[in-house]
Structures are given as C-alpha cells and as structure tokens.
Amino acid sequence: MALLQISEPGQSTAPHQHRLAVGIDLGTTNSLVASVRSGDVQTLPDEDGSHLLSSVVRYHEDGVEVGAVAAQHAITDPMNTIVSVKRFMGRGISDLRLLGNKLPYHFIDEDKAVPRIHTRGGDVSATEVSAEILKALKRRAVKTLGEEIQGAVITVPAYFDEAQRQATKDAATLAGLNVLRLLNEPTAAAVAYGLDSGQEGVIAVYDLGGGTFDISILRLNQGVFEVLATGGDSALGGDDFDHVIAEWILQQADYEADPEPQLVRLLMHASRNAKETLSEQTEADILIDADEIQWHGSLSRDQMDALIEPLIRKTLMSCRRALRDAEIGNQDIIEIVMVGGSTRVPHVRNKVGEFFECEPLVSIDPDRVVAIGAALQADVLVGNKTDEDMLLLDIIPLSLGIETMGGLSEKIIHRNTPIPVSRAQDFTTYKDGQTAMAVHVVQGERELVSDCRSLAHFELRGFPPQVAGAPRIRVTFQVDADGLLSVHAREENSGTEASVDVKPSYGLTDEEIESMLRASMDHAQEDMLARTLREEQVEAERVVEALDSAIKADAALLTDDERRLISETRDRLIAARVGDDPGLIKKAITELEAACEDFVARRMNTSIRKAMKGHSVDEYATED
C-alpha cells in the first residue's frame, strides 16, 4: 500500500517544484559537492571551474581560508594550516602523529578526550575544522544552484566507528546543513555505478582515499543495494603512501632527527607530487631544499611499488576477510569498482586486478563517483523520486553489546547486520535488593570487555528492590540509517526507564580498528575458554553469596555435621574459583548444591509453614 504525504493547506509542493539536495564527499585530501539537476547528476564547480575542493583550512587573525588558497600556505604556515583533518575525526592525541615522534600541530588540553589545535585564529577541534570545509561546499552549492538547499547526504568510510560518524554529523550541524543521511562511501559508489550501468549481481567496491580504506561486497538486484560484508582500515590511505616515500627520502639524505612540522609538510608535498607523477611516468625527480636538509634525487616507479607494497597487502587482507564474511568467492564477483584518488596508482590497480582475477572498473572518475552516488541518494531522500526509489541496505561493521557480570561482552547486534536495526535482550539483577543497574556499552568482536572498545556508560535507577533474578530489564539497541547508536533500558515490572545516545569521546585507534576482526579470529578458542571460565566464576560467586545469606538467616536449621560438610564444600568451591579450570569450578558448585539439598528443602518447608500459619488449606483451594 502506497503512503500519501498530506500537507497543511497552502503548504503543498507544486507538482513541478524540484527540492534541492546535495551529496557531499567529505574527503581526506579533496572534497566535492554534487546535485541532481534536470535529471542529470553533476559535481558542482567553483568560480574557477574546479570541482575538487582541497580539504585544507588555514586560520589567521582576520578569518579562515578554505581550499586551494589555504593549501598554498601548508608549507610556509604549517601550524595554522590544517590538512588531512578527516584522519583526526573522533580520535585522541596518540593517533595524530605523522613522521617521527612530533605532533603535527600544537595541541592544548592534550589529556582531554577531544584535543583542540592551537592556531593564530583560535583553538579548534577536528570537528570545527571539518565544519569549515562543509561550509565552503554549502556556499558553492547555494551559489551554483541559486537557492538554499533542503538537505545533504554526507558520505563516510564504511569502517568509521560510532565516534567518527557522530563527529561528522556534528560538523554538518555546525555548518548549518540538514543531514538527510550519513552514507557509506562504497555504497555511494555502488549507487553511482548501479544506476549508470543497470547491472545486477555481486560487486566489490575497493575504496582507497587519502586517509581511509574500505572494501565492501554488495549485491545489486532490481534497485536494491544490499551490503553483504564490509572491511577496511580508517587509518590507511594515500597519505600513508606519501609517508613511506618521505621516510625513504630522509633515509637517502641520511637525516636521522625528528623533522620539524615545516619540514614534514615539505617532505609530504614532495612525496605526493612524486607519487602523482609516477602514476603517469616511470621516474620522478625530487628536490628538497630546506635549512635542515638539501637533497636532490629521483624515485622510479619500481622503487615506489616496493615501498607501498606492504600497505597494498594490508588492503588485500581486508578484501579476503570481506569475501569470507560474505560467503562468496572471486568467481561470484561481476565487477570491481575502484573508488578514491589513490586507486590511480598503477600498482594498486594491478594488485587489485590480480587478487579479484578481473579488470577493475574505472569508467567513472574515482574522485567524483562517491559524491555522484550521494547526490542520487539525496535526490531520493528529499522526495524528488517516487517510482524510481532505490533501497539501500547498509550494514554495521563491528558488533555492539553490553558488559555482563565477570567482565564479559554480551553482543546484542552482531557485525554485518543490515541497518537501520533494533535489537533487544532481557537481563536481570545479580544481588538481592538491587535497585540500580550500570549499563556499559561496548563495541568489538572479543568475548571479554577488556578486549573491546568502550563506547558509553549510563545507569538505570529507581526500580523496586527484589530478590536476585526477579527483575526483568530489557536493553534495546537501535542503530539508525546513519550508523549511529542509541541504547534504552527498561525494568519491565515497574516501568523504570533510562537511555543514552551514544556519543563516545573519540574513536578507535589506528591499530584497534584494523585488528579487531583479526584478533577475534586469532583468539577465538582462547576467548571462548576465558568466557567459560568467567561464567563459572560468576556462578560460583552467586552460589556462595546465596549460601552465606541463607545460613545467616536460618543457621538454626543446620546440624553440626551438616554445617561442617557445607563449610568444607564451600571452601573447596572458593579454592576452585580462583583457579583457571572451569570444569573443576563446575564440579565444586555441583558438590556444594548436593551438600545443601536437605538444608534448602528444610528452609522451603519452614517458609511454607510460616506462610500457612493462621490459615487452612481450604482457603487456597480454587474452584473448577
């Protein structure tokens, strides 16, 4: 049944009116904005005809510069000119080092979760810097289209975690943009290619940008874009190619000190130029002329291929895992879509082609394809299409869950689950008389909370005290189409509720986001043994606590022999609990329960007699 949109009188949209919406590719190196006009999707140029906006922001006393004019000062004014800010989104100080051990900028409040960069124009966060880039794209769109835009679809790497996605959305809010949706970059590329070619089947999207890498496996079928699996590294991209080339230059020049920020920028600039030259030629000339170092030499394509080979190999490892998660083989892939400026490197294309055993698809400009797909989706979400609507089924890249007793991670939404999604699970209390419960939200694939990423804490308070196990607390996880998480807890008997919108202080570290899945596989057996041990230890604690409470209340029901037997069996359980043998703990629990059988029966009979005192059995009889 079709749903009709009913407007208030005088507020309906004229049949011919086209709502303006844009798609934005907020990139590490360059950013773009695109829109659908007269049925044709186009990236929007600036007044000089350039479609790419350099993702560079410079702060000075008189204001802010964005784009090419700011990039001109990247070498001469490095501490006030912010480059590659996307790599800083949702991250802490320890993630932000470039070459050597020096930080790329002057940070204040280094101990705080959200570091701020000190510039001549004031202290700013990565979110605020990104907002300046988005403002520039918005101004370009308004000027080109001639009126205010209704909303925007902004793309993010598929492997961005909760903090990085939320930071992106916050930047859009600061820029005055109405975010229709955060869309995974590989999915946006699939939209562009799927609608352009009309193909159906399984495709792989290999997205290697300036600062991030994603691999997504999607099935295209009658306008439905279903993500089967995703993988990648939110801290791997073309910038890392530049880093290894810059380090090679330092080695050639016998320079062993930690380079200062201005020299780092000069080296990175020279390395990027050499990389881009080697995409077209077989040799690149490099000249470094600075106070600390003077070096002139050349880099061949074969030398660069050897330098970047380990980085490409890391991307192919993610590709292999994604295929395994999607439960398909290379023979099932009909197309390999190449996305991101770094896929222009010939060695990248060759290695990807060898891995998937087919020629990569590069018919759409890899710099523009993501923005084009985002614009097509924005056109749908703003209401300009009806019968041609597409359905996007993205997935969540890493499992979400909560901490349970013993430091265990109980997964509520598993990785590769399509989003949006809502999942609920019931939990209960551990101790008698408990009136509050702490909820710890975690992300990751390991069995122990200590091996996962902490996302948020909140408390459910004020439900009535009851015996352990009696309360029924339903915890609901909701992940929206943007991949953002909210958690809600409700004690069903009393109706007490609490919730939290998960806004972590910063995201996963470089190593964490890459290694989470690999670690979960490498340690699968170890994790299960650890989980089993913790479960038995928690059960032992519960049994001992319940026993001590019972003896305190009804010690008079025990004979001396029973008390001695229970005490000895209890001591054996406590000794077993501190060990690492779950089987021995389970056996000791069984022995203690057996030793307490008569005591438990006696307590129950006593309770029944107390309850029946002053009453007859006939009072409890029910009529047929």
H helix or E strand, kind and range, residue 574 = helix 560-577
H helix or E strand, kind and range, residue 352 = helix 346-356
Do 230 and 415 touch, CB atoms closer than 8 A? Answer: no
185, 214, 367, 514: the active-site residue? 185
Do 537 and 588 touch, CB atoms closer than 8 A? Answer: no
- Surface-to-core class of residue 323, CB atoms within 10 Å of its CB (0-12 exposed, 13-18 middle, 19+ buried): buried
Is 275 noted as a catalytic residue in this protein? no
H helix or E strand, kind and range, residue 592 = helix 582-595
Is 86 noted as a catalytic residue in this protein? yes
128, 161, 170, 207: the active-site residue? 207
Is 169 noted as a catalytic residue in this protein? no
Q: What b/e sequence results for 394-411 when a residue is b if at least 16 CB atoms lie within 10 Å of its CB, and e otherwise?
A: bbbbbbbbbbbebbbbeb
Q: Which residues contact 297 (CB under 8 A, 6 or more apart)?
A: 249, 252, 286
How far is the first Cα of the chain from the last one, in angstroms, to the nearest whole number?
48
Taking alpha carbons only, the member of 377, 24, 384, 341 closest to residue 195 is: 377
How far apart CA 347 and CA 353 sit, in angstroms, is 10
What is the DSSP-derived secondary structure letter of residue 448?
B
Other CB atoms within 10 Å distance of the CB of residue 207: 31
Sheet containing 391-395: give its strands across: 333-339, 201-208, 213-221, 224-233, 391-395, 418-419
Do 32 and 43 touch, CB atoms closer than 8 A? Answer: yes
Backbone angles phi and psi of 490, in degrees to 5: -140, 130
Is 387 noted as a catalytic residue in this protein? no
How far apart CA 535 and CA 552 sit, in angstroms, is 26
Helices (H), 203-260: 238-252
* Cα–Cα separations (whole angstroms), residue 404 to 220, 426, 428, 539, 574: 39, 12, 10, 12, 21
* Cα–Cα separations (whole angstroms), residue 618 to 150, 184, 604: 73, 68, 21
HEC per residue, 460-474? EECCCCCCCCCCCEE
46, 86, 138, 275: the active-site residue? 86
Do 442 and 472 touch, CB atoms closer than 8 A? Answer: no
User: Which residues are identified as catalytic?
Assistant: 25, 86, 185, 207
